[in-house]
Amino acid sequence: MDFLRPASWEEALAAKAEHPTAVPIAGGTDVMVEINFDHRRPEYLLDLTRIGDLYEWETGERSVRLGASVPYTRIMEDLRGELPGLALASHTVASPQIRNRGGVGGNLGTASPAGDAHPALLAAGAQVEAESVRGTRLIPIDDFYTGVKRNALAPDELIRAVHIDRADGPQQYSKVGTRNAMVIAVCAFGLALHPESRTVRTGIGSAAPTPVRAKAAEEFLNAALEEGGFWDNGKIITPSVAKQFADLCAGACNPIDDVRGTASYRRHAVGVMARRTLTWTWESYRGTATRTEGVA
């Protein structure tokens, strides 16, 4: 095994081009487990922790460009306003020790269907900035997950950053596990209201071979909200609409039975989380809308 220690991003890209099998390592919270248990013996480890740029973020007008290695601790403490869904998701990651090391770049690189960040990224809307010596490209999050622990990266590419749309409305995140810490999600659900475009987006984790959106549920809800004038009148969402939305979210799952839970439990739990997160976010939206009207 060789330990490659690039001092800059350019050096890292050159190293990855020269050794496409090199395994990038940042927080090490996935990679080191595999090495400790001898599940993986990569020929090259490509250490990215010397590259300071990866630990920084820039807040633009429309989106946040989040460096691939920004630890979850920073996201939950410093980006709660811009990225509330991802901040909530970050807070559910493992433990303080793990949140101090792990980041979204690693979550995307591993592309486990159980990765905590994925539902939040899918719901918020995001693009993965992948770079190689050949150039840079932005991969829409919807096209990023290609299979169980597979992603759209080319062998010579590294994840530089994730561009996540800044929240223009309430966002929520919910995760099912046996306790509040150190839990791999049995399943997880992210939901974001986008009042500017009058749309709702979702993300489901651990209930299909890849993280997925519940697109049929989104389309149904978008139409129902539009039809009922909900975005304007701020009424409570009709229970039948919430139920239909929940059922469609459960239907978007394609789960398996495993040690953490059965497929039918996962489907059921995703439906429950869909209904709850919709209620929480909508109540928050109504609260804001009412206040705005009051001021005007």
Q: x-or-dash pattern for other proteins, window 89-118, by CB under 8 A?
A: -----xxxxx-xx-----------------
CB of 172 to other proteins, least distance (A): 20
Helix segments in the chain, DSSP class H: 9-18, 31-36, 72-78, 84-91, 96-99, 104-110, 117-124, 215-227, 230-233, 239-251, 263-295
Q: Is 74 in the site for other proteins (CB under 8 A)?
A: no
- Shortest distance in whole angstroms from residue 296 CB to other proteins: 38
Asked if residue 207 lies in contact with residue 184, where contact means CB atoms within 8 angstroms, the answer is no
Nearer to other proteins, 177 or 195 (CB): 177
Could you give the CA distance from residue 199 to residue 223 in angstroms, rounded to a whole number? 9
Site pattern 2..21 for other proteins (x: CB under 8 A): xx-x----------------
Build a one-symbol-per-residue string for 141-180: x at contacts with other proteins by CB under 8 A, - elsewhere.
---------------------------------------x
Pairing of strands 23-25, 44-47: parallel
Which of these segments, 33-41, 104-112, 132-140, 253-261, binds other proteins (CB under 8 A)? 33-41
Indicate whether 62 belongs to the interface with other proteins (CB under 8 A).
no
Structural contact between residues 23 and 40, judged by C-beta atoms closer than 8 angstroms? yes
Under rule CB under 8 A, residue 292 binds other proteins = no
Please, what is the minimum distance in Å from the beta carbon of residue 37 to other proteins?
7
Tell whether residue 45 is a contact of other proteins (CB under 8 A).
yes
Q: How far is CA 7 from the centre of its chain?
A: 28
- Of 29-37, 139-147, 149-157, 249-257, the window that binds other proteins (rule: CB under 8 A) is 29-37
- Beta strand 126-132 pairing with 135-140: antiparallel
Q: Tell me the CA distances in angstroms from 25 to 22, 40, 184, one per residue in order.
A: 9, 13, 20
259 binds other proteins (CB under 8 A): no
Residue 68 binding other proteins, by CB under 8 A:
no
In whole angstroms, the minimum distance from the beta carbon of 11 to other proteins comes to 15
Whichever of 43 and 226 has its CB closer to other proteins, that residue is 43
What is each CA distance from 30 to 17, 146, 188, 285, in whole angstroms? Answer: 23, 19, 19, 37
Helix (H) or strand (E) holding 28: none
Between helix 84-91 and helix 117-124 the angle, nearest 10°, is 170
* Contact (CB, 8 A) for 202 and 214: yes
Within a 10 A sphere around the Cβ of 285, how many other Cβ atoms? 18
Q: What are the counts of helices (DSSP H) followed by strands (DSSP E) for the chain?
A: 11, 13
Segment interacting with other proteins, rule: CB under 8 A, options 37-45, 138-146, 191-199, 228-236: 37-45
In the complex, the smallest distance separating the C-beta of residue 41 from other proteins, rounded to whole angstroms, is: 7
Selected from 7, 10, 33, 262, the binder of other proteins by CB under 8 A is 33
For residue 233, the SS3 value is: helix
The DSSP code for 16 is H
Q: Which is nearer to other proteins, 27 or 203 (CB)?
A: 27
List residues near other proteins by CB under 8 A.
1-3, 5, 25, 27-29, 31-33, 35-37, 41, 45, 47, 49, 94-98, 100-101, 180-182
